[in-house]
Structure 1
Amino acid sequence: MAYVESATGGSSIYVVDATGGEPRQLMAPFGASEAPVSVPPLRVVFTPDSRAVVYDRLAKADFGQRLVFATIADVVQGDKTDELTLPVPEGVIATREDFRGVPAQLGYSRDGKKIVYQLSVSRGRNALFVADANFTNPRKLADLKDPRAEWTLPTFSPDGTQIAYTDTLFDVGAQAIFVVNADGSGVRQVSKPQRGDYHTSPSWGYAARHN
């Protein structure tokens, strides 16, 4: 299993066998990097073959000194680390500077065939995308209201037909859970927060099916 250790001086990612044993550090503390970050990664997920974990961290953009989120794949056995290039449909991203301006929060479908993630599509505007797990055939799923999109955490249903996520209701002053079909249709709000409520981290029961 993989987990985040948050401590004074930064946050690190570790993997450890489910039976116990000595944890192995995959990533040095954020605070020790060239581009420190003040928050831990929001999501750490294994690739379908379990050979690597995927996570977001801040990095310096190659087009300037501005810090942007980069999505990283770190192998579980060995020392190789790769920055992933998230697929984007033609004409969706307004400017290169806006690319990956928010954490991707990438997640895999339970059959390992699809990925869901978020990207900045223009300054202050973000959207959810789905693609094949080999990072081909990207499609935009839904526009997001929250310009920061820190707690979107998109999650596939067990059968892969729906995706749950968090978005902000600015007219209410709260965050709610939404569901969208995997083909981009049928966006609907499923939780009803009151002002000041934060409904986050949606998780599907294993018996969940498309209705």
Structure 2
Amino acid sequence: MHARLDTVTSMRHRIVWSQAWTIAVCGALLVTGCGADSGPSAADVIAFMEVRSEDEVRIVQQPLDAADPEELSTPKGFRSITPAFSSSGAEVAFIAVPAGTDSMADNIVYVMKTDGSDPVAIARPRDPAFEIADDSRRLSFPVFSPDGTEVAFTVSSIDRRGSEYHIVGVDGSNLRRLAVLSNSEQEADRVAFSPDGATVVFSHPTDGRHYDLYAADTKGGKPAMLLSTASVEPLMPALSPDGSTIIYSVQDYEQQKASDGDRDTALFAVDADGTDPHRITDWGSTGTADRIFAAWSPNGNQIAFSGSFEGQQAPSAVFVMDADGTDLRRLSPERADVEYVFPAWR
């Protein structure tokens, strides 16, 4: 049941992620000096999206020991989606879509305090720094740098002519491009930072459809392919806080055929050197979403993720489990008419 994960050879450069550990792309993905944090989590609150309909979308948050989520205060007049917290848990980044519009080209990247104060729009789709034509840009998937001073996000083409990955200061300054990958017929993915913030990792369609794993220096430069896959696609990668493990969503074509498309998606983990890829959840589906979204707890001991294990096209729910895939439990309420997706650990 393990996915075959082939490490791409003949890379031309090395990517240093920290003094404690190094990823070298030169025939293999090498990692040294990774250690786990055994301390308790700084917070036990998870935020996620609550989707009741296309027009009824909001960000909610829920403590692990609570039965129901509460709304996270965000600017009025917007549908707020895809939350991400700073490492301190004091700030949240998200995408704001103006209410009453059907155009995803109006997405704005916002940062604010988690109590709802000091909202700042730090990136808008009309910014001339983006190369994709301004009539088709869509901003998505913001994520904080480890030091909390910058936010990376994806700029994709609504008509799928390519994708860009950018980074900007939390005050909206110093907007710059991380990477540009063109000729993509699929959706762009989110980025994940290395622990020292020097590198971002993301999944991107290599041949117009099939996704592979890439890395790019946060100071710019050509992305390097890190991992290529066989029959599976690594989507939405997330690095553990110590940098030792990558978790990612997999959609398996063979499993799709075997289950008639009902249970073709699972969460996988792989060592950051590309070894020991293994499935850590049952096969399920993405429900009414298009992929599984996962997030590490701040101490790396637990994983929150969204998906469906209740049959084809069932609403997605948010689950929590230990990092090894054990002690799985549902966090979000069980409601047939509400979808819960995109968890972010605070």
Taking structure 1 as the reference length, the TM-score comes to: 0.73
1:142-157 aligned at under 5 Å gives the runs 142-146=281-285, 150-157=290-297
Alignment of 1:130 onto 2:269 = yes
Larger relative contact order (CA 8 Å, sep ≥ 6): 2
Is the CA contact 1:55–1:105 (under 8 Å) kept in the aligned structure 2?
yes
Q: Which has the larger radius of gyration?
A: 2
Q: Which residue of 1 aligns with 2:200?
A: 53
Q: Give the direction of change, closer, same or farther, for the CA distance of 1:120–1:78 in structure 2 (3 Å limit).
A: same
Cα shift at 1:132: 2.8
After TM superposition, the structure 1 = structure 2 runs for residues 1-211 of structure 1, keeping only pairs within 5 Å, are: 1-6=151-156, 11-18=163-170, 20-28=172-180, 33-37=182-186, 39-41=187-189, 43-60=190-207, 67-85=209-227, 96=230, 98-100=231-233, 103-121=234-252, 122-124=254-256, 125-146=264-285, 150-168=290-308, 169-170=310-311, 173-205=314-346
**How many aligned positions are there?**
184
Q: Which moved more, 1:136-145 or 1:156-165?
A: 136-145
1:91 counterpart residue number: none
What is the Cα-based RMSD across aligned positions, in Å?
A: 2.8
Question: What's the CA shift for 1:142?
Answer: 0.9
TM-score (norm 2): 0.47
Distance in 1 between residues matched to 2:313 and 2:169, nearest whole Å: 44
> Cα 1:147–1:123, aligned 2, differ >3 Å: closer, same or farther?
farther
- The CA distance in 1 between the partners of 2:228 and 2:250, in whole Å, is 9
Deviation at 1:182, TM superposition (A): 1.4
- In the alignment, the residues of structure 2 paired with residue 3 and residue 158 of structure 1 have an alpha-carbon distance, to the nearest angstrom, of 20
**Percent of aligned pairs with the same amino acid:** 28
More strand by share: 2
Checking the alignment, whether the CA contact within 8 Å between 1:174 and 1:193 is kept in structure 2 is no
Give structure 1 stretches of 5+ with no counterpart. 61-65, 88-95, 206-211
